[in-house]
Every structure is written in structure tokens, then in C-alpha cells.
Chains A and B, each alone.
Chain A
Amino acid sequence: MAETPLERKPVQSNPQMAPVSTERDLRLDLFRGLALWLIFLDHIPSNAVSWITIRNYGFSDATEIFVFISGYTAAFVYGRAMHEHGFIVAGARVLKRAWQIYIAHVFLFAVYLAEIAYVAHSFDNPLYTEEMGVRNFLANPDVTIIQALLLKFKPVNMDVLPLYIVLLAWFPPALWLLRRAPSTALIASATFYALSLQFGWNIPAWPKGMWVFNPFAWQFLFVFGAWCALGGAQRIKLFVDSAVVRWLAVAYLAFAFSIVMTWYFPYLGTFVPFFASDFIYPISKTNLDVLRILHFLSLAVITVWFVPRDWPALKSKMCWPAIVCGQHSLETFCLGVFLAFAGHFVFTEVSNRLPMHVAVSITGIVIMVGAAALVSWYKSMERRGPRPPAAMPATAGGGA
């Protein structure tokens, strides 16, 4: 797998692509892969292993990492396409990608329907008369399925892909502006974020409420990632590498950690003065609270401090499993959602003890890595053209 391509090509593109000077930053793949693993662990309800994930130690979670890096890589890949083939071709590719994600989302919805239909048949418990109301939505499948196809009805844990679809649908004009006037684009995005918070803009959901991930707010992180990819990272390098900023980031992470501890040990909460807690809460994930952005940025500052771009381990076998997952993020993400459903099913129907939690978590990650390796192999094979590829073992455990 040493020849795993340095840049991912989500859409099959021209074979004679001009060589580019900028090599893909493997750190992006590494951390996106890790984020996908954390999302998987967090998506299995009551998974004991999810105690290791970052959301338990600060304000932000793996979603921020995933969205930021997705913005970064989208700008990296489609920015070059726009440079070489123009707005129309690059824009069309972005929209094709959005369509693929939509198909993936609908597939996951079918899996969800199967699960809930099973529960509706097997689940009957006097303790849970209230919870059994989830079955009601099966009473009107016509409405439910149409609302799901319209992305208005989104079951639990199926909110990220719709966000991604909306972000990509907007991306062609955003990318155009980012390439012309990066600062203007970033300021516009930040303004839009601020206005959405101020006026409560969000997309309505079905049957009630709003989108769990408000695209008007989350676009900021995506655009910021894209801005970093298109030269912004170079511009803020001195700032990010300065000692003051690093220690501010450390201080902020410590602050977030101590606040989070008051959630688990309520008696610590009495140490937080009222005006401070009034300022802090609520920490909205829907609207990408500023505290969450700051937490993500602090994590990013610390990460680039300790993990330089030319970190030798990035090319080692140790990092490969996460990197290969990060390079095939859509496939890995979807598989992760599916595996989380499956893992939860195992918990309720087979065993809910700690060893099973550990076994399911590890098995799930191994399957994700295997599937990503398989996808990687397919793509390299397709790139090589119609002739049969050289023998390369496919890692077991793919498909599913």
C-alpha cells in the first residue's frame, strides 16, 4: 500500500493532469481518518469505548475536524480542477460529488428503516410506553419517506451527510470567490455565520424543529478550511506558530476541560461563578457555538505544533490505517454509520457488557480500514486502465 496516491481523486478525472507542486498534506488524511473513527465510536449509543473520544474532554468533537478537513480537501481538489478546467467543469464535479453523497444518505436511510421496522415488531415493554412512540412514524411511510428524500426528516446520527450535501451545493460559487478574493470570501462567510446566529436562520426539519447541523452556521468552518487550503494557512502560519497563541490554546483547552468536568461531577459546578456559566451556556452544536470553534482552533494549533507536515511517522505503517480511511472519507463515513447501527444491534440483542463494547468498537474500526483499503485498491486499479492490475491483496472484511 506504499503506493497509495498522495492526492485523492473523488471523481475520475483526466489522466493527463498537470503535475502540481503542492503535495497533499497527509496530516489531513490522518486526522480525518481519526475523526471518522471517533464519529463511529460516538455513534454507537452508550458505547463505553466512546469515553476516549474528544467530545468528553472539551466543547468540540470530531464533527468539527471532519467538516474543516472536508472544506480543506474540497478546495484543494476542486480548486485545482477550477484552475485547470474552469468554473463549469469544476462546479459540475462538485455537484456530482454532492449527488453521490445524497445517494449514500438515502442508502443509509433504507438501513435505518429496516432497523426501526424490526424494533417495531419485537419491542414491547411496559417500561417504555413513551419511547415506543418512535414506531408511530411507520404509520405514515408515504410522508416519512418523502420527507427523508427531501432531507427534511433525518434520523438520529444521519445529520452530517445532509449538511455536507448543502455545503457542496454551495461550494462552486464559494470556491470561485475564494480563489479570486480569499479574504473577502472568508469575511463574507463569517458575516453570514454571525447573521445566522443573530436572526436564527436555519433550515426547517420534519416533523418539527430545525436541522441539527445548521448549514448557515457550519459553512463557516468549511469555508475556513477551504481558505486555509488556498493559501490562508501560509498567511496565518506565523500567528499559529507563535508561542503566545500556542499557550493561549493550551489555556483554553484547560478551561474547556475544567468546565466539562463540572458536567460529570456536579459539585464542581459550584466553583463556576454564575456570570461565567450564564455566558457559557448553552453551547449549541446546532449553531456551531463560538466556544466550540475556539476549542477546535485550539486543538488545531496544538496539533500543528506537535505534528509537523513532514512528520516521518505519517508515511509509516502505524499511521496508514487512519490515513487510508481519511482518503476515502465518504465510503468510510457511510460504513461507519451503518456499523454503528449494527454495533448497537449487537449490544441490545447479544451482549451489553464491556468486553462486547471493546470488541464491537475494534471490529468496526478494522472493518472500516479494510473497506477503505479495498476502495483504495479499486481506485488505483481503475486509474491504471482496463488492463488487469498487478496482484495486490485486498484486505479482508470489506463490503458489508
Chain B
Amino acid sequence: MMKRLAIALAALLMAGPAPAAVPAECQMAQHLVDNALPLPHTARAISANKLTVLVVGAGSSTLPGPKGAQLAYPARLQSALTELLPGVAVKVATDVKAHRTAAAMVKTLKAALTAAKPALVIWQTGTVDAMQAIDPDQFSDTLEEGIVIARTAGADVVLVNAQYSPRTESMIALGTYADEMRWVAVQHEVPLFNRFEIMRVWADLGTFDFTSAKDKLAMAGRVHACIGWLLADLVTEAVKPDEPQTESAR
């Protein structure tokens, strides 16, 4: 993967005078955006120069305050994709509401798909299910159901797992739900954006201090900006036309 990354970076550097690049602080975890799975619907939409993405999520897909939605990663994803995909009209729609389990999101998924007609669904889930101790089997079934619904509507799916939240780690049992997401992703060949591990690496390296008491809203904005960038990186990597997506990449 490092090689692929290096090639991509080299290509970016040689591409033009103003290469859009992932900001340095986000790059600290870029090696974790490791996707070898194709996103065919997204690729088709990009080659038609019109990409609509739907972000489905709960409380951690937005930020509080009047500018919350602007600072949160869906909006950041839109600007990052616009930069990375010149000439493509990128639109990121959201279906984000706090305290929703995966099952609650699946309930409104069809309506959201009909409204937005996305080529790609980015589905953030796991935290609320863990907090409410939803039956893991049921959680896993719900994920599968959502993936099938999105694919039937002509959209690819990327799963986004829970945030790394150091203070509540010993109170929210994320483990089982993270495992279920990983297994469903492997089984259905859906890319998993490992937000938990990415944020943990940032914490380990000191890129972001999630327990700091200072400038918390500013830091939250930077974290979401990075998540937006790395999601955009995952999407553009998966649809690179000149790179073989199947056998040789593996």
C-alpha cells in the first residue's frame, strides 16, 4: 500500500502547478486509508462529471453550534472532493441526526436515497448502538440490510466506524460493534473507513490532543477537516482510472 501511496503522491506532485494535497496533520494517519475495493458507481459518476455523496450518520457526523454543519466532515468532504476532482460537480448531502442507531438510520435510508440520488453512501454508525447495547447480531443484520438498500438504489457504500474517544473508552464497549462492522465490510466488500484507528493514531502521535481543555471547538473543526480529507482520499484512490483496481493492486 505504501508503494501505491507513494505513486499517488508522486503523481499528485507532478500533476500540475497547484496540487491539491491532504494537509500535513491529516497525513499522519493517511496510511490507514487502505482501500483496495472498487467503487464502480462512484467511478461512473465522476467520469460523468457529477458526483453526489450522501452522508448518513449520527451525532459524530456533525458538530454543535451555529456553524457546526459547516465545520463538520461532510462539508469538508465536499470541499476536499471538489479540489481533488477538478471539473466534477461534487455535492455532499447529509442525513445526520444525533442519537440514532443503525436501525433508525436504515428506516429513513430509502427516503434519503430517493431525495439525494447519490452514487456513494458514506455511512457512519456504531457508537449509539454500542451505548444502547443493541444486540450485535441485530446490528450486523441491520448493516447488511442498509448496504443492500443502498446498492439496490445504485450507490456504493463506505462504512465509517466510531470515533476514538479516550475519556469514554472504558464506558462504551465499542469492540464488538467495531468487529461486526469490520466483518460485514469484509463480507460485502465494502470499504471501511477506520475512523477509530485513524483518530487513535493522531492521539498517539500527538497530532491532536483529544483530552485537552483548550480550544476544543477549533480542534474539533480541524479533526473533522482531516476526516473529510481522508474520506476524499479514499474515494479518489478507489476510482483512479489509470490504476488497475483488481488483481494487481492486491
A residues with CB within 8 A of B: 45-46, 48, 115-116, 119, 122-134, 155-157, 205, 207-210, 212, 262-263, 265-270, 272, 274, 277-278, 281-286, 340-341, 344, 347-349, 352-354
A207–B223 touching, CB < 8 Å: no
Is B182 close to A, CB under 8 A?
yes
A278-B164 Cα distance, complex, nearest whole Å? 29
Is B36 close to A, CB under 8 A?
yes
Q: Contact partner of B163 among A128, A267, A347, CB < 8 A? A: A128
Instruction: Known A127-B216, A127-B219, A278-B187; judge A263-B135 contact (CB<8 A).
Output: no
Instruction: Known A131-B168, A156-B171, A353-B204; judge A126-B34 contact (CB<8 A).
Output: no
A205–B133 touching, CB < 8 Å: yes
Residues of chain A contacted by B250 (CB below 8 angstroms) = 267-268, 270
Q: Contact partner of A127 among B185, B192, B210, CB < 8 A? A: B210
Is B3 close to A, CB under 8 A?
no
Is B41 close to A, CB under 8 A?
no
Q: Contact partner of B182 among A207, A263, A278, A341, CB < 8 A? A: A263
Instruction: Known A269-B186, A282-B183, A348-B167; judge A126-B172 contact (CB<8 A).
Output: no
The chain A residue sitting closest to B196, CB to CB, is: A46
Interface Cβ pair total, 8 Å cutoff? 159
A128-B134 Cα distance, complex, nearest whole Å? 20
B186–A347 touching, CB < 8 Å: no
Minimal beta-carbon separation of B151 from chain A (angstroms):
15
Could you list some 25 contacts between A and B, CB below 8 A?
Answer: A46-B164, A48-B204, A125-B210, A126-B68, A126-B216, A127-B163, A128-B167, A130-B128, A131-B127, A131-B165, A134-B168, A156-B171, A207-B132, A209-B133, A266-B186, A266-B191, A267-B1, A270-B36, A278-B187, A281-B184, A282-B137, A340-B170, A344-B170, A348-B167, A348-B169
Is B98 close to A, CB under 8 A?
yes
A281–B163 touching, CB < 8 Å: no
Residues of chain A contacted by B111 (CB below 8 angstroms) = none
The chain B residue sitting closest to A123, CB to CB, is: B167
A127-B82 Cα distance, complex, nearest whole Å? 25
Is B217 close to A, CB under 8 A?
yes
The chain B residue sitting closest to A44, CB to CB, is: B170
Residues of chain A contacted by B176 (CB below 8 angstroms) = 212, 285-286
* Chain B interface, number of residues (Cβ within 8 angstroms): 60
Minimal beta-carbon separation of A287 from chain B (angstroms):
9
Residues of chain B contacted by A125 (CB below 8 angstroms) = 167, 210, 216, 220
Instruction: Known A46-B200, A205-B133, A266-B185; judge A130-B59 contact (CB<8 A).
Output: yes
A207-B131 Cα distance, complex, nearest whole Å? 10
Is B8 close to A, CB under 8 A?
no
Considering only residues 190-223 of chain B, those with a C-beta below 8 Å from chain A are 191-192, 200, 203-204, 206, 210-211, 216-217, 219-220, 223
A125-B210 Cα distance, complex, nearest whole Å? 9
Minimal beta-carbon separation of B213 from chain A (angstroms):
9
Residues of chain B contacted by A131 (CB below 8 angstroms) = 60, 127, 131, 163, 165, 167-168, 172
Residues of chain A contacted by B168 (CB below 8 angstroms) = 119, 123, 128, 131-132, 134
A334-B186 Cα distance, complex, nearest whole Å? 36
The chain A residue sitting closest to B165, CB to CB, is: A131
The chain A residue sitting closest to B249, CB to CB, is: A267
Is B180 close to A, CB under 8 A?
yes
Supply 17 further A-B pairs (C-beta < 8 A) apart from A45-B169, A274-B187, A349-B211: A127-B165, A127-B219, A128-B167, A128-B168, A129-B59, A132-B168, A134-B172, A156-B171, A207-B132, A207-B133, A212-B176, A266-B36, A267-B36, A277-B186, A281-B184, A286-B176, A353-B204
Minimal beta-carbon separation of A244 from chain B (angstroms):
31
Residues of chain A contacted by B140 (CB below 8 angstroms) = 281-282
Contact with A along B42-74 (1 / 0, CB 8 A): 000000000000000011100111001000000
Is B35 close to A, CB under 8 A?
yes
Minimal beta-carbon separation of A212 from chain B (angstroms):
8
A209–B189 touching, CB < 8 Å: no
A297-B121 Cα distance, complex, nearest whole Å? 42
Residues of chain A contacted by B192 (CB below 8 angstroms) = 266
Is B117 close to A, CB under 8 A?
no
The chain A residue sitting closest to B71, CB to CB, is: A126
The chain B residue sitting closest to A354, CB to CB, is: B204
Residues of chain B contacted by A208 (CB below 8 angstroms) = 132-134
Instruction: Known A45-B169, A207-B133; judge A281-B204 contact (CB<8 A).
Output: no
Residues of chain A contacted by B40 (CB below 8 angstroms) = none
A126-B64 Cα distance, complex, nearest whole Å? 6
